[in-house]
Amino acid sequence: MAHFYNSIEKIISNFKKHNIDTSKPGFYDEPNFLKVEQNNPEYLNNYARFVQEKKYSDEYLDKARKVIPLIADELHKELLR
């Protein structure tokens, strides 16, 4: 069982071992992930580490820098209502 303090390589290997598809955001809701998490509530930390260590393309990061402030602004407006 990989723990959140393990290397990203070990975490990815553990995901593969449990047939967890990491190709889409939010894969922590994937059935195979949930099955492992039921026996180890800290397993979600592996998802956090995966996201933290993942390499993102410059294009992806540029888009995120533009879109995230817009979304945050809309959420802020909604919270003020």
pLDDT at residue 64, as a whole number: 96
Split at pLDDT 50, 70, 90, the class of 49 is: very high
pLDDT, average across residues 43-62 = 94
pLDDT at residue 6, as a whole number: 81
Query: What DSSP assignment string belongs to the chain?
Result: ---TTS-HHHHHHHHHHTT---SSTTGGGSHHHHHHHHH-GGGHHHHHHHHHH----HHHHHHHHHHHHHHHHHHHHHHH-
Cα gap 23→21, rounded to integer Å? 6
**Tell me: the pLDDT tens digits for 4-28?**
578 899 999 999 999 999 999 999 9
pLDDT at residue 1, as a whole number: 53
Ranges of each domain in the chain = 8-80
**Could you tell me the pTM of the whole model?**
0.74
